[in-house]
């Protein structure tokens, strides 16, 4: 059965969930495709664990080293500084030495950095080693979705790429649980950071035994190997997919940042940068980094109760990724964006109202609001940003485009992280959360106007979309919930 036939069959005229969910494609996809996606997704666990661990360790580090507020913020944000650096070179490195070996190298750096952080004798070295860890996190955060996207059949590409977000959420949850165990056992912050070496080792060993992606092999004229790998991950459509890759590579030179600014392709850059910034400006990492502090504002103690509340956040963050994996290739990317951003905006308005009217007596209500907010985030813009980063750009520009979006994302993350406490002091808690709510509204409009629906599209068809005036190729089949081939998607 051809790839087009598979899409058409899965849609059906009045197909129910069983048809729409493409069970035939899921069953026929080789196990190796799922294996490589699962192993690469461990890179998300590095990302997630490092986001979460600082939340529980922050106060212990501040007490031991007697940190000022400014140095405390720097200690929290150090990994973000490193992530920006990693995002800058990650794309070019993955083009040169491969996506696979880049992830192996980053796993080694991350493992060394995690152990060194746990052994740091002073705050200066702690910050240096956190930056080193951040470099590995930043590079892997953009290479992982690219690797998975290039190894996935188009019909289930969305679900497989979102495995990275499941691993991110799992890493955050594990770090919260380990923070709580360490706190109750009376341990210092050092075991919290040392445990990060475990997912680093798992990623490095696992990726060492995986394959290069067919597209990277094609970029380096290793077509025999590309044919073999494509046969392992997508045998049903092997020849068609390889021909797509050949045609796209033959028609273009190696991409550059200058080319991203050209008319047409510039739309992909704008969409990617906008999603990168909006993902952070709706405020989720204030909860992930400063959760116990926010719960303290609501009258929940910053000790074990605050850490237990953080575990609740971690559970919701993890669980709500699961329906996204199932739905993203059925209802489409944009519908999930709309639902999630609308839910987040509503909860942020309620959160601002709670703090405006005195949230110190609203502890349980604030916790429930935050859990719904995080659930909406986990259903939508959290995983979908990383998926769209892997999908939006043409093959020759995918690495540099993903790098640019990743740098923007980490930069926005850094800005929100280092300004949150100061903004609360200057503006008040209610105003800060209402500002985040306003960005959720902006996000809905942005997605409606500037982001294309990529469900069911091959990466090569997305290339044609940008280079042909935001119009899908005539011969392609639109996915469920997409415009037809003759329809012009919203600009």
The answer as to whether 486 is a domain residue is no
Residue 394 burial (CB < 10 Å; 0-12/13-18/19+)?
buried
**Residue 14 placed within a domain:** no
Which residue from 135, 226, 133, 167 is spatially nearest to 40, judged by alpha carbons?
167
Distance CA 203, CA 198 (A): 9
The structure tokens listed for 426 are 């200057």
In a domain, 5, yes or no: no
Half-sphere exposure of 297 (CA within 13 A, CB side): 23
Under 8 Å between Cβ of 479 and 453: yes
Quick one: how far is CA 281 from the chain centroid?
Answer: 15
Q: Does 227 reside within a domain?
A: no
Tell me if 438 is assigned to some domain. Answer: yes
Q: How far is CA 376 from the centre of its chain?
A: 15
Q: How many domains does the chain have?
A: 1
Give the pTM.
0.80
What is residue 254's predicted lDDT score, i.e. its pLDDT? 58
CATH number at residue 372: 1.20.1250.20
For residue 41 the two structure tokens come to: 């997704």
Q: Domain for residue 3, yes or no?
A: no
Q: Which domain holds residue 42?
A: 21-210+252-467
- Is residue 232 included in any domain, yes or no? no
Is 9 within the bounds of a domain? no
| Per-residue pLDDT in tens (0 to 9) along the chain, 491 residues | 444 433 433 444 334 444 445 566 677 778 898 999 999 999 999 889 988 888 878 878 988 998 887 788 788 889 999 999 998 888 889 989 999 999 999 999 999 999 999 999 999 999 999 999 999 999 998 899 889 988 988 778 888 888 888 999 999 999 989 988 888 888 889 999 999 999 999 999 999 999 999 989 998 899 999 999 999 988 877 888 888 888 777 765 556 677 788 877 888 999 999 999 999 999 998 888 787 788 888 877 666 677 788 899 999 999 998 998 888 888 889 999 999 999 999 999 999 998 888 756 677 888 899 999 999 999 999 889 988 988 888 777 877 888 889 889 989 998 998 888 889 989 999 999 999 999 999 999 999 999 999 888 877 788 888 877 787 776 544 444 444 433 344 43
Residues ≥6 apart with Cβ < 8 Å to 185: none
Give Rg (Cα) of the chain: 22
């Amino acid at each position: 059965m051809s790839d087009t036939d598979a899409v058409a069959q899965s849609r059906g005229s009045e197909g129910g969930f069983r048809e729409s969910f493409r069970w035939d494609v899921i069953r026929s996809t080789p196990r190796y495709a799922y294996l490589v996606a699962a192993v690469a997704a461990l890179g998300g666990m590095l990302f997630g664990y490092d986001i979460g661990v600082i939340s529980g360790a922050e106060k212990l580090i501040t007490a031991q080293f007697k940190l000022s507020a400014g140095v405390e913020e720097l200690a929290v944000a150090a990994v973000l500084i490193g992530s920006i650096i990693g995002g800058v070179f990650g794309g070019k490195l993955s083009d040169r030495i491969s996506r696979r070996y880049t992830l192996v190298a980053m796993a080694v750096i991350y493992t060394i950095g995690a152990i060194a952080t746990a052994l740091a004798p002073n705050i200066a070295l702690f910050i240096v080693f956190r930056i080193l860890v951040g470099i590995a996190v930043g590079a892997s955060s953009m290479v992982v979705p690219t690797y998975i996207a290039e190894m996935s059949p188009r019909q289930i590409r969305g679900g497989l790429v979102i495995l990275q977000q499941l691993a991110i959420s799992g890493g955050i949850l594990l770090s919260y649980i380990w923070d709580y165990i360490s706190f109750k056992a009376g341990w210092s912050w050092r075991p919290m950071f040392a445990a990060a070496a475990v997912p680093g080792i798992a990623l490095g060993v696992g990726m060492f035994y995986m394959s290069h992606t067919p597209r990277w092999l094609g970029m380096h004229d290793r077509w025999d190997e590309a044919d073999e790998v494509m046969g392992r991950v997508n045998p049903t459509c092997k020849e068609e997919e390889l021909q797509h890759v050949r045609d796209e590579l033959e028609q273009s030179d190696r991409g550059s940042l200058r080319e991203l600014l050209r008319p047409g392709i510039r739309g992909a850059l704008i969409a990617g940068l906008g999603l990168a910034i909006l993902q952070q400006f709706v405020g989720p990492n204030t909860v992930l980094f400063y959760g116990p502090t926010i719960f303290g504002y609501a009258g929940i103690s910053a000790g074990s109760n605050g850490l237990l509340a953080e575990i609740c956040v971690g559970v919701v963050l993890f669980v709500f990724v699961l329906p996204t994996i199932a739905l993203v290739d059925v209802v489409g990317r944009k519908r999930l964006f709309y639902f999630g951003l609308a839910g987040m905006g509503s909860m942020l308005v309620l959160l601002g109202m709670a703090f405006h009217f005195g949230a110190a007596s609203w502890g349980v209500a604030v916790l429930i609001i935050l859990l719904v907010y995080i659930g909406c985030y986990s259903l939508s813009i959290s995983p979908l940003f990383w998926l769209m980063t892997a999908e939006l750009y043409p093959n020759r520009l995918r690495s540099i485009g993903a790098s640019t979006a990743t740098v923007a994302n980490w930069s926005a993350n850094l800005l929100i992280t280092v300004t949150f406490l100061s903004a609360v002091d200057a503006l008040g808690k209610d105003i800060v959360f209402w500002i985040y709510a306003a960005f959720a509204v902006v996000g809905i409009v942005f997605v409606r106007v500037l982001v294309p629906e990529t469900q069911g599209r091959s990466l090569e068809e997305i290339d044609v979309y940008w280079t042909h005036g935001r119009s899908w190729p005539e011969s392609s089949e639109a996915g469920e919930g997409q415009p037809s081939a003759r329809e012009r998607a919203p600009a």
